[in-house]
Structure 1
């Protein structure tokens, strides 16, 4: 009876040793997971800093992105991303404001988001922007959106990205631009549902006029 009731030191140590052996793999797994997470975080920080440095201001202001699979034939498989609240067309992202500013304030606002007032280069881009603007303000009698075209510095029309004015597509309304001595900033002019003229609706206005604005930036490939 004494022999059965006695527990040798070797026997009592065995369960304790087994308990430690069950714990060690979990400790190892958690440690590896923490190290991996830290490594991935550091890599992402380096990637964002190195690849998207020119969009630093935008990254500070836009906390979320909307991405779709890349459609570009000359790019590897990946994603095309625009900031949340912007709309993508081809390889550009566009923002239509819901408040009004002067032309100079509008350009400053776009620059503050890492972009610039839109530069329109094709009929397809013009149609996209016109239809979107008309969709947003369907019930307004008329609406104007500033674009990145102005003549207020030297009297010659210039795009904000230095695209030559003479070589770019132009979509002025009939009779526009006029009154060039005073109206030196360009805007897309929309008249709600009644306006069907997609391609000829630019108007020149006084640069201190408060209008909506369209900002533009290139999509981010990731």
Structure 2
């Protein structure tokens, strides 16, 4: 699936460069299936600082509540050779239940893509934010992590 999406991402800008420029701001990439534009930041910030940085660009940390957007962002991270964690827009609702909510208030699920059956695990009692974890050959699966860690992040906003 990722190789097909990778080929798509590599070919579409060449074949329809004007559409990409018009649909998303420079440096942003369009998922044509969902109409969302994504930007992978080079900065490394905490989860909260990442959310603020996205908001300052008229966007939000990415909400990957479907397979299309999740696969697109994973492929984008792979193509851009992001070889470490990337913040996405989910965080724990509270520290007891460890249920997660997306930016905007929607509960995480039913679609999820946790790294394995042990995630989320709230390891050490401090893992309340979600990132894409560089896991098993660039698969970029979800992982809960301490919100204060500085990682790159991915923002999203609707196309123009």
Q: Do Structure 1 and Structure 2 share a fold, with TM-score over 0.5?
A: yes
Alignment partners' CA distance in 1, 2:18 and 2:159? 9
Alignment deviations for residues 87-124 of structure 1 (CA, whole Å, 9 cap, x no partner): 11120100001110000000000000000000012212
1:144 aligned to 2:85?
Answer: yes
- C-alpha distance in 1 between matches for 2:139 and 2:78: 11
- Where in structure 2 are there 5+ consecutive unaligned residues? 1-16
Asked if the contact 1:133–1:190 (Cα under 8 Å) also holds between the matched residues in 2, the reply is no
- Conserved in 2, the CA contact under 8 Å of 1:87 and 1:95? yes
Deviation of the 1:195 alpha carbon: 1.2
Within 1, Cα distance between the matches of 2:64 and 2:22?
A: 20
Tell me what 2:132 maps to: 188
Report the CA distance between 1:166 and its aligned residue. 3.6
State whether structure 2 residue 114 is matched by structure 1 residue 177: no
Residue 115 in structure 1 maps to residue 49 in structure 2: no
Give the structure 2 partner of residue 9 of structure 1. none
Q: Which has the higher contact order (CA 8 A, sep 6+)?
A: 2
Residue pair 1:134, 1:190 contacting (<8 A) in 2 also: no
- Please report how far the alpha carbon of residue 80 of structure 1 lies from its aligned counterpart in structure 2 after TM superposition: 5.2
Contact 1:176 1:203 in 2 (8 A): yes
Match of 1:158 in 2: 101
Greater than 3 Å deviation, 4+ residue runs: none
Aligned counterpart, 1:8: none
Instruction: Give the alignment partner of residue 82 of structure 1, picking from 11, 20, 24.
Output: 24
Give the secondary structure class of the aligned counterpart of 1:208. Answer: coil
Structure with the larger helix share: 1
**Partner Cα separation in structure 2 for residue 134 and residue 216 of structure 1:** 17
Across the aligned residues of Structure 1 and Structure 2, the Cα RMSD in angstroms comes to: 2.2
**Cα offsets for 1:174-205 (capped at 9, x unmatched):** 121112621000001125xx61546xx11111
Instruction: Give the paired residue count.
Output: 137
Alignment partner, residue 105 of structure 1? 49
Task: Compute the TM-score of the two structures, normalised by the length of structure 2.
Answer: 0.77
d(CA) in 2 for partners of 1:85 and 1:158? 27
